[in-house]
Chain A
Amino acid sequence: MKTFYWLVKRELWEHRGGFFWAPVITGGVFLLLNLMGIITGEVMGGRHGFNVAFGGGQNNLHLLANALDKQSMDTVGAGLDMVMYSPTMIISMVLGFVVFFYCLGALYDDRRDRSLLFWKSLPISDTATVLSKVVAATIVAPFIAVVTGTLTGIVMLLMFAVTLSFHGVGVWHLLTLSHPLQVIANLLGSIPLYLLWALPTVGWLMLCSAWARSKPFLWAVVLPVATGIVLGWFKLIGTVDMSTAWYWRDVLARILFSVFPGGWFTQMQHIGGNNPAEMLSGLSVLNTYTVLASPNLWIGVAAAAAMLAGAVWFRRWRDDS
């Protein structure tokens, strides 16, 4: 267990840039852009005598806040929750790229630079090595992304609150309409789902990473794409009579793009609603976990287990040559 902890820590040391700095910088840039937006709004508003940013006259926003009925209060709350979600969504995209390239290099880079010979000179099993990389990609990385995303969201909310308070709006009242704890719970709760959903992609990329003698990226991408084209060609000349759409959607997309968070929404019965609040609650953890009932998810997990076993096997026998 201690060895495993240090293995995961080792991954963090090596990939501090991708796992930690990428989300932090993304969050920072996000805040900066928003700040610039607010300042632009204020300056333009000041210059032209009306408030662009908040669309109304100088001091009647508080009237609005007081006049909210139940439904619009829900809408405002949902809007604020959206504000809190938004940085995490952007960071999630970055996370997808980081995890993709991390997995692709995980079992290849140390063979290329021969540091494999050092790692293999330590009493660590290949299974533990591979699993530590899976944990780093599917638990540690998304956790850091969620934490930075949430913190960015909170700072954003405060930024808007302060701006609004300059215009005499009782901001703290407005903020009580949002549900930060619920947002945090939803985001943290989606990490286990991310693990399960991303596994086939992680497994496939790591298998290529452990197997390829060179250019793992090409193998990982070209192989499934070529397979799809060949299937399509068979269909074209009429040898097999089946649609290839399922291949692109349920195989290729699952082994290449599932590291991007949120893919599991495609497996849910109905998303959406009549208003933002309903829509958001549709995306809450309780709802998203219905994905656990979809065979797609579990077939993916089983395939991932096989591919990871393959990765361990190749890790065992591929040397630096």
Chain B
Amino acid sequence: MSAVITANGLSKHYKSSLALDNVSFQIAPGRIVGLIGPNGAGKTTALKAILGLTDFTGQLNVLGFDPRKQRDKLMGEVCFIADVAVLPRWIRVREVVDFVANVHQRFDRKKCEAFLARTKLTPDQRVKQMSKGMIVQLHLALVMAIDARLLILDEPTLGLDILYRKQFYQSLLEDYFDENKTIIVTTHQVEEVEHILTDLMFIRDGKIVLDADMDAIGERFIEVMVNSDNAAAARTLKPLDERQVFGKSIFLFDGVGRAQLEALGEIRRPSVSDLFVATMKGTYA
């Protein structure tokens, strides 16, 4: 199947900085991709480029469209939730549903109303009277009722409490995602998304430093808990990272043979956040 997004040599300069530095990647359909990076690494810029919200140099093809020139057509097939609460404050639930229903071809009003029925939102409520969590519920109900091929989430759960956050990703998985859809999500709350991701992309200083699916990551990155007597031996294998827990050392290895590591101690799959911290070491230094 052809890729949903193909990017080739994507660059974007702001006045003083380079937000994207010659980035190339492909995203296949039916994936949930986590785009993860420290603040200011270029995540939002990459998403904006994909959505046709910003200018850039290089080649970018999203669902067969050039986002720079065909944003309005592209948006018929792409949905987007930006880091919370971008719904206009004056609008009422009833109005926003009416509006989207009439301007969006692929919007299913019944579906949207069913999603809204599960919330406490009332038709006459205005966005400005809602809590952040409720705004995201409304936005999610709108977006999930659109039969889009690509959904882009930029920090969708920022500032929400744990109940809303759990519910957000659960709804996405249960009621929305299928093999024809692709989701790209950026977030700082890595622990919350890592079990739903199929692919992982790390971005740092405008460059993609890791781009792999979760299975490959499980093969490539291994964490070993090593007793202190084996620690020196482990260090010779050039670990990415080392930390101490209860008198033992935990080493994170990239591309070292499994059998070799098993000899050193107990091995396990690293969490995405540990991997992230190890990869991004020294970013703010």
Instruction: Tell me the residues in window 229-252 of chain B with beta carbons closer than 8 Å to chain A beta carbons.
Output: none
Residue of A nearest to B77 (CB): A123
On chain B, the residues within 8 Å of A124 by CB distance are: 72, 75, 103
Where chain A touches its partner, the secondary structure class is helix
Residue of A nearest to B79 (CB): A121
Pair A123/B104 contact, Cβ less than 8 Å: yes
Pair A319/B104 contact, Cβ less than 8 Å: no
On chain B, the residues within 8 Å of A114 by CB distance are: 82, 85-86
On chain A, the residues within 8 Å of B95 by CB distance are: 10, 13
B89 to chain A, nearest CB (A): 7
A158 to chain B, nearest CB (A): 36
A10 to chain B, nearest CB (A): 6
Pair B72/A125 contact, Cβ less than 8 Å: yes
On chain B, the residues within 8 Å of A125 by CB distance are: 71-72
Residue of A nearest to B74 (CB): A123
Instruction: Tell me the residues in window 79-127 of chain A with beta carbons closer than 8 Å to chain B beta carbons.
Output: 110, 113-126
Residue of B nearest to A129 (CB): B72
CA distance A119 to B171 in the complex (A): 23
CA distance A173 to B105 in the complex (A): 58
CA distance A113 to B139 in the complex (A): 16
CA distance A43 to B204 in the complex (A): 82
Residue of A nearest to B72 (CB): A125
Pair B80/A117 contact, Cβ less than 8 Å: yes
B20 to chain A, nearest CB (A): 14
A18 to chain B, nearest CB (A): 12
Decide yes or no whether A6 CB sits under 8 A from chain B.
yes
Point out the residue from B51, B54, B85, B91 that lies within 8 Å of A121, measured CB to CB.
B51
Instruction: Digitize B112-155: 1 where CB-to-A-CB distance is under 8 Å, 0 elsewhere.
Output: 00000000000000000000000000010000000000000000
Instruction: Digitize B42-53: 1 where CB-to-A-CB distance is under 8 Å, 0 elsewhere.
Output: 000000100101
Instruction: Tell me the residues in window 29-44 of chain A with beta carbons closer than 8 Å to chain B beta carbons.
Output: none
Decide yes or no whether A317 CB sits under 8 A from chain B.
yes
Pair A6/B99 contact, Cβ less than 8 Å: yes
How many B residues touch the partner, as a band?
A: 20 to 34
Residue of B nearest to A119 (CB): B88
Pair A118/B102 contact, Cβ less than 8 Å: no
Decide yes or no whether B90 CB sits under 8 A from chain A.
yes
Pair A6/B54 contact, Cβ less than 8 Å: no
Q: A6-B99, A122-B104, A124-B103 are in contact. Are A115 and B75 (CB under 8 A)?
A: no
Decide yes or no whether A14 CB sits under 8 A from chain B.
yes
Instruction: Digitize A1-36: 1 where CB-to-B-CB distance is under 8 Å, 0 elsewhere.
Output: 011011101100110000000000000000000000
B144 to chain A, nearest CB (A): 14
Pair A118/B75 contact, Cβ less than 8 Å: no
A147 to chain B, nearest CB (A): 23
On chain A, the residues within 8 Å of B48 by CB distance are: 319
A8 to chain B, nearest CB (A): 11
On chain B, the residues within 8 Å of A128 by CB distance are: 72
CA distance A196 to B80 in the complex (A): 38
Decide yes or no whether B262 CB sits under 8 A from chain A.
no
Point out the residue from A113, A116, A319 that lies within 8 Å of B89, measured CB to CB.
A113
Pair B86/A123 contact, Cβ less than 8 Å: no
CA distance A257 to B27 in the complex (A): 52
CA distance A91 to B80 in the complex (A): 42
Pair B99/A10 contact, Cβ less than 8 Å: yes
On chain A, the residues within 8 Å of B76 by CB distance are: 123
CA distance A117 to B71 in the complex (A): 12
CA distance A13 to B97 in the complex (A): 13
On chain B, the residues within 8 Å of A2 by CB distance are: 102-103
Decide yes or no whether B100 CB sits under 8 A from chain A.
yes
Pair A110/B80 contact, Cβ less than 8 Å: no
Q: A3-B103, A114-B82 are in contact. Are A120 and B87 (CB under 8 A)?
A: no
CA distance A9 to B99 in the complex (A): 9
Residue of A nearest to B143 (CB): A121
On chain A, the residues within 8 Å of B103 by CB distance are: 2-3, 6-7, 122-124
Pair B100/A317 contact, Cβ less than 8 Å: no
| Other 13 A-B pairs with CB < 8 A, given A114-B86, A121-B79 | A2-B103, A5-B102, A6-B99, A14-B90, A14-B91, A115-B89, A118-B88, A120-B51, A120-B75, A122-B103, A123-B72, A128-B72, A319-B54
Provide 22 A-B residue pairs closer than 8 Å at the C-beta atoms, listed in order of the A residue.
Answer: A3-B102, A3-B103, A5-B102, A6-B102, A10-B95, A13-B95, A113-B89, A114-B82, A114-B86, A115-B86, A116-B86, A118-B87, A119-B88, A120-B53, A120-B71, A121-B51, A122-B75, A123-B103, A123-B105, A316-B71, A317-B54, A319-B48
Residues on B close to A: CB < 8 A? Answer: 48, 51, 53-55, 71-76, 78-80, 82, 85-91, 95, 98-100, 102-105, 139
Q: Which 9 A-B pairs have the closest CB atoms?
A: A115-B88, A121-B80, A123-B76, A125-B72, A123-B75, A117-B82, A117-B86, A6-B102, A3-B103
